[in-house]
Chains A and B, each alone.
Chain A
Amino acid sequence: MNSIWPLAPGRLGGSRISPIWLVLVAVIVAAALVSDRFLTSYNIASVLQQGVITGIVALGMTVVLIGGQLDLSTGAIVMMAAVMALLIGPDGTLGITLAVVLPILAGATVGVVNGLAVYRAGANSIVTTIGMQFFLIGAVLATVSGRHVRATAIGDAFTALAQARPLGIPFPVFIFAALVIVLAVVMSSTVFGRHVYAIGGDADASRRSGVNVVRTGIATFAISGALAATSGVIIAALVGHLDPTGVGGYEFPALTAVVLGGTRLTGGVGRPIDTVAAILVIAIITNVMTILDYQYPIQLLVQGIVLTGAVAYYNWRGEA
Chain B
Amino acid sequence: MSPRAQELFSRFFIKPPLVPLLILASFIPGFWSMGNMRILAEAISVDGIVVIGMTIVMIAGGFDMSVGAVMALGGVAAVVLLPHGLAVSVLAAGAFGALAGTLSGTLVTRLRINPFISTLAVMVMVRGAILAYTDTRPVVSLDDMFLALGEGRPVPYAFMIMVAVAITAHVWLNGRPWGRHVYAVGADETAAAMSGLRVGRLKLQCYLISGALAGFAGMLLAARLGTGSPIIGESTPLSAAAAALIGGASLRGGEGSVGGAMIGLVFVGGLVNAMNLLGVASYYQSMVIGGMLFALVVADGAFLRLRSS
Task: Evaluate contact between A131 and B281: CB separation under 8 angstroms.
Answer: no
B305 and A135 form a contact (CB under 8 A): no
Q: Are B298 and A121 in contact (CB under 8 A)?
A: yes
- Measured in the bound complex, the distance between the Cα atoms of B295 and A315 in whole Å is 32
- Report the nearest A residue to B242, measured CB to CB: A131
Q: Judging by beta carbons under 8 Å apart, are B283 and A141 in contact?
A: yes
Within the complex, which residue of A124, A295, A304 is in contact with B301, where a contact is CB–CB below 8 Å? Answer: A124
Least CB separation from A265: chain B residue: B114
Q: Say yes or no: A121-B113 contact (C-beta < 8 A), given A135-B290, A301-B132.
A: no
Residues of B within 8 A of A255 (CB): 120
Question: Residue B149 at the A interface, CB < 8 A?
Answer: no
Q: Contact at A123–B298, with CB atoms within 8 Å?
A: yes
Q: Which of B226-285 contact A (CB under 8 A)?
A: 235, 237-238, 241, 251, 281, 283-285
- Kindly state whether residue A23 has any CB partner on chain B within 8 Å: no
Task: Pick the contact of B302: A121, A126, A298, A304 (CB < 8 A).
Answer: A121
Is the pair A121, B293 in contact by a Cβ cutoff of 8 Å? no
- Distance in angstroms from B283 CB to nearest chain A CB is 4
Query: Contacts A131-B238, A135-B286, A300-B127; is A122 near B301 (CB within 8 Å)?
Result: yes
Which of A146, A295, A316 meets B132, CB within 8 Å? A295
List, in ascending order, chain B residues with CB within 8 A of A300's CB: 124-125, 127-128, 131
**Interface membership of A142, Cβ < 8 A:** yes
Whether, in the assembled complex, B107 has its beta carbon less than 8 Å from a beta carbon of chain A, the answer is: yes
Known A134-B286, A135-B286, A304-B124; contact A123-B117, beta-carbon cutoff 8 A? no
Instruction: A311 to B283: give the CA distance in the assembly, Å.
Output: 34
Q: How many residues in B have their beta carbons less than 8 Å from beta carbons of A? A: 50
- What is the CA–CA distance of A178 and B66 in the complex, to the nearest angstrom? 37
Residue from A122, A135, A139, A315 within 8 A of B111 (CB atoms): A315
Asked if B294 and A315 make an inter-chain contact with CB atoms under 8 angstroms apart, the answer reads: no
In Å, the complex CA distance between A122 and B127 comes to 31
- Cβ of B112: which chain A residues have Cβ within 8 Å of it? 315, 319
Bound-state Cα–Cα, A118 to B129, Å: 33
A266 to B284 CA separation, bound complex (whole angstroms): 34
For residue A64, give the distance in angstroms from its CB to the closest CB of chain B. 14
- Cβ < 8 Å to B, chain A residues 289-320: 295-305, 307-308, 311-312, 315-316, 319
Chain A 246-270 interface mask (CB, 8 Å, partner B; 1/0): 0000001001000100000110000
B290–A138 CB distance below 8 A = yes
Chain B residues near A181 (CB, 8 Å)? Answer: none
In the complex with contacts A123-B297, A297-B131, A142-B238 CB distance below 8 A: no
Q: CA A300 – CA B124 in complex, angstroms?
A: 6
Q: List 14 A-B contacts (CB under 8 A).
A: A122-B302, A123-B301, A127-B293, A131-B238, A131-B295, A131-B296, A134-B235, A135-B287, A136-B290, A137-B283, A298-B128, A300-B125, A307-B121, A308-B125
What is A's interface to B at a CB cutoff of 8 Å?
70, 117-118, 121-124, 126-128, 130-139, 141-142, 145-146, 252, 255, 259, 265-266, 295-305, 307-308, 311-312, 315-316, 319
6 cross-chain pairs, A with B, having the tightest CB-CB distances, nearest first: A134-B290, A301-B128, A138-B286, A300-B128, A138-B287, A297-B131
* Known A130-B237, A142-B281, A303-B124; 14 more pairs at CB < 8 Å: A118-B301, A121-B305, A130-B293, A131-B290, A131-B296, A134-B238, A138-B287, A139-B283, A297-B129, A297-B131, A301-B124, A308-B113, A312-B111, A315-B112
